[in-house]
Amino acid sequence: MFLRKSIAKLPRRSPARDSASFISISSKPTPQDIAHRVSSLINQPNWKTNDTLKSLVSHMNPSVAAQVILLQNHQLKLALRFFQWVCQHSTYCYDTTSRIRLLELLISSNSFRIAHKAVIELIKSCSDNENDLLKLMQALDDMRKTGFRLNYPCYSILLMSIAKLSMGFLAFSVYKRMVAEGFALAAIDYGTMINAFSKVGFVFQAEMFMSQALKLGFGLGTHICTSLVLGYCRNKDLWEAFRVLDVMSEPDGCGANSVTYSILIHGLCEIGRVEEAFDLKEGMKEKGFEPSTRTYSVLIKALCDDGLIGKGRLRRVMGCSGRWPNIRTYNELIEGLCIVNKPYKAMLLLGRIVNNGLLPNRVSYNILIYGFCREGHFNMASKIFELMNSFGVDTDAYSFTAMIDGLCKQGRLELANGLLGKMIKKGIEPDEVTFTALMDGFCKIGNTGDALKLLKMMVEIGCLTTCHAFNSILHVLSKECELRKEYALFGKILKHGLVPSVVTYTILVGALFRAGKVDQSLDLMELMKQVGCPPGVYTYNVMVYGLCQIGRVEDAERILHSMSDLGVSPNHVTYTILVRARVYAGRLDRALEILSVMVRNGFQPDSRVYYALLVGVISSNKTVTEANSSFISPLDVQPPSAAENYDECVSSNGLKEMDLEHAYKLRVEIEKSGGSVLDFYNFLIAGLCEVGRIVHAEHLTKDLLKQGLYPDKACFSVIDWHSKNGNCNECLEFLDLILSHGFLPSFASYSSVIHCTRVKGNIKEAERLLSDLMNYNNIGDAKAVLPHIEFLVNRDEPEKCIDLLKLIEQMVNRERPII
């Protein structure tokens, strides 16, 4: 009853619109008064800097904003400027849904002139977000029913935005509507369509549009031809891509540009033809086109992928002109290594930067701090943070926030809190991200009291613009089943004029499931649709998981089948939950049927699915009593963290207990479902290595090699197991076995064997392997690059990184003027 009363109080259109109902407003000016006051202010010079106006607009809802715009009926430019401004400064109008509502109000007043301008602004603001653009397009379709039609500029801008997001067929549907409504497309629109199809590799469709453009008398410009080059490169059809380049380069051709060449260089690198990419870079320079930073980044990344990033492979990239990559290019590479969890390798690349005469900048250090913090190597991150000032680089809000976030994730809240104090003392203002990171840390250890104090501070200094901070506290309360406190906090979100997000509602849905209030959780999901915040796939996953927990797996499956009708596509997690639920309910047959649907819809199973299916296969060969005693459903275990630990225990036991017949049986079922056999064996063999069953792991791997299959991750797992156990001979034998079957061992496999031989003191063997690695990658002078790739085969060595920091500090000190 309490929930239903609470739901009755919630808004039916947009949470932000009726949030004022929590506060008495009888003494406040009417919306019409506010609209006229704002209209007066925006007609004054320098109105955007007026503090009174900022205060009035900060809590202005779409209805009042629409009144202000309509009052500028004879000043179209001013009306548009205010539309743009209010969308940036009003807490009610900042999201796409609210902006669409503002547009609807303008259209309902038949102010089509400003509405068309507003549509263009909305399209531009959504051009980086596929979901927002689709939401806007749906709204524009609905507005057609009221008589509103897009004009040509709106359609043209819409086509460009769709092309930018690589949605070729959606662009085609817009094109068809333009034609149906009688618009004559310009050359730029045909270029947009060709680009849209080329981006996703639909070259045939792009060529059709090109032919149509030629029939209409439009010429083949550089932009159109470059789009075709991109399309062919996307399809890895480099022969056709170069054919287009030849046509462009003819005397009467449109001519290529640096973008054309950069796309071709990228295409060559994508298929491993790196040497040809180098040659093309030289060729474009001879034709007078200077390679861009992006061109160099592509080439250097190709060297990184091949394990060749020494100072001598860089000279080859940059040519003989003496031009070197700038620090921005290196920062991209450093960030890439951090993203793939290689912060120490990024530090060693930093060493190459120093050797090449460049000094890292603040961005370089911030990337490294964040990378080390994310990996949990806080001591290294702290060292970089402390030494930034001595490097002559000031720490900024990003540096502090990365450190605070890293400390919070390690549970070191006192240090994080102290760092916040230092940050404020230094005059650096914490932003919402900083506070939210610290709040999340307090919430993770159950300290909601200090989290609420931080929330109060955020309100006082005015840096609370989203509900992310509230979500952290809600998440803790939901775990503790504190529903009343959650409702109270939800009310505060509305009171502060914030718009609850999908995450906010989803947390409440999950809390209701945990409290056993299934019907009320379903009611809340219906409410989400009514208030303009429809459930996303994560919300449905919470529901599916909740139903599986209480044994309603059939209902959970029905939701799976109805999700697409509701406009939400199931994702990998949805299928994983149901596969595991069916296995642990003793329905392996049904789990395999769901697996087939999962693969058919483009999702390959991961280790969690394979583990569950393996448990199912083993259990199916036992008596019911034995199965129940060995495998208990993790869906009955609370909290989720405990379930994850349980999964690890079950997986380990399953891998220790299974025999090879289980593996062969599961392989057959995976083949039937259309899944990847190699992925399955890579998972299985890696797992067998982890539990010490190296003999069986080797047997399966050798069997696959005999069948002409190359499970690269499995081979690495076997080699790495022997390497870690000091079995150098076995490592070398397995490396030779891979080569004897006509396959090239991965760089990771070579690195593991080289490391093992180095540790054992067999330096000559390590050098031979390095030479082999270079030769297999078509590097003629292996000796010249050996010293420069050494860091790629070494294990992470923090001591060397500390030495590097000292070296940089010395370099900075040498460059400082002596006063």
Residue with tokens 């870690």: 724
At 448-505, the pLDDT tens digits run: 888 888 888 887 777 777 777 787 777 777 776 667 777 777 777 777 777 777 888 8
pLDDT band of residue 803 (cuts 50, 70, 90) is low
What residue spans of 43-129 are helical by DSSP H? 51-58, 62-70, 76-89, 96-108, 112-125
Tally of structural domains, the chain: 1
| Alpha-carbon torsion (798, 799, 800, 804), positive or negative | positive
Please give the model's pTM, rounded to 2 decimal places: 0.54
pLDDT band of residue 652 (cuts 50, 70, 90) is low
Range of weakest confidence among 258-272, 312-326, 432-446: 312-326
pLDDT at residue 722 in the model? 92
pLDDT at residue 710 in the model? 86
DSSP labels, 431-483: -HHHHHHHHHHHHHTT-HHHHHHHHHHHHHHT---SSHHHHHHHHHHHHTT-H
Helix axes 76-89, 96-108, angle to 10 degrees: 150
pLDDT at residue 698 in the model? 92
At 618-649, the pLDDT tens digits run: 887 664 434 443 333 433 333 333 344 444 44
pLDDT at residue 719 in the model? 92
Q: Is the pLDDT of residue 787 over 70?
A: no
At 191-249, the pLDDT tens digits run: 888 888 888 888 888 888 888 888 888 877 888 898 899 989 988 888 989 998 888 88
pLDDT at residue 293 in the model? 63
At 92-115, the pLDDT tens digits run: 656 777 778 888 888 888 888 888
Contacts of residue 136, Cβ cutoff 8 Å, sequence gap at least 6: 96, 100, 122, 123, 126
Encoded tokens for 617: 């296969």
Q: What's the rounded Cα separation, in Å, for the pair 62 and 532? A: 14
At 136-152, the pLDDT tens digits run: 888 888 888 888 889 99
Q: Is the pLDDT of residue 307 over 70?
A: no
Is residue 624 situated within a structural domain?
no
Q: Is the pLDDT of residue 374 over 70?
A: yes
pLDDT at residue 633 in the model? 40
pLDDT band of residue 533 (cuts 50, 70, 90) is confident
Contacts of residue 614, Cβ cutoff 8 Å, sequence gap at least 6: 651, 654, 655, 658, 662, 666, 684
Q: What's the rounded Cα separation, in Å, for the pair 170 and 64? A: 34
pLDDT at residue 57 in the model? 77
Is residue 384 situated within a structural domain?
no
Is residue 227 situated within a structural domain?
no
Q: Is the pLDDT of residue 311 over 60?
A: no
What residue spans of 23-61 are helical by DSSP H? 31-42, 51-58
Q: What's the rounded Cα separation, in Å, for the pair 790 and 425? A: 44
Cβ(67)–Cβ(35) below 8 Å = yes
pLDDT at residue 442 in the model? 85
Distance of CA 664 to CAs 657, 689, 717, Å? 15, 18, 20
Question: Which letter does DSSP use for residue 531 in this model?
Answer: T
More confident residue, 309 or 646: 309
pLDDT at residue 92 in the model? 61
pLDDT at residue 489 in the model? 72
Q: Which helix (H) or strand (E) holds 683?
A: helix 677-690
Rounded mean pLDDT of 74-93? Answer: 77
What residue spans of 307-447 are helical by DSSP H? 311-318, 327-339, 343-355, 362-374, 378-387, 397-409, 413-425, 432-444
Is residue 673 situated within a structural domain?
no
Is residue 116 situated within a structural domain?
yes
Is residue 18 situated within a structural domain?
yes
Q: State the amino acid at position 445 in one-letter form.
A: I
Q: Is the pLDDT of residue 12 over 50?
A: no
Rounded mean pLDDT of 386-397? Answer: 83
Encoded tokens for 681: 């064996």
Most confident of 53-57, 269-273, 814-818: 269-273
Q: What's the rounded Cα separation, in Å, for the pair 28 and 38? A: 15
Encoded tokens for 349: 């690349």
Q: Which residues constitute the domain of residue 76?
A: 12-149
Q: Is the pLDDT of residue 795 over 60?
A: no
Please, what is the average pLDDT of the chain? 77
At 258-286, the pLDDT tens digits run: 889 889 988 988 887 877 887 888 788 78
Nearest alpha carbon to residue 235 among 193, 277, 207, 274 = 207
Cβ(82)–Cβ(88) below 8 Å = no
pLDDT at residue 799 in the model? 54
pLDDT at residue 721 in the model? 92
Is residue 602 situated within a structural domain?
no
Q: Is the pLDDT of residue 3 over 70?
A: no
Length of the chain: 819
Range of weakest confidence among 702-711, 756-765, 783-792: 783-792
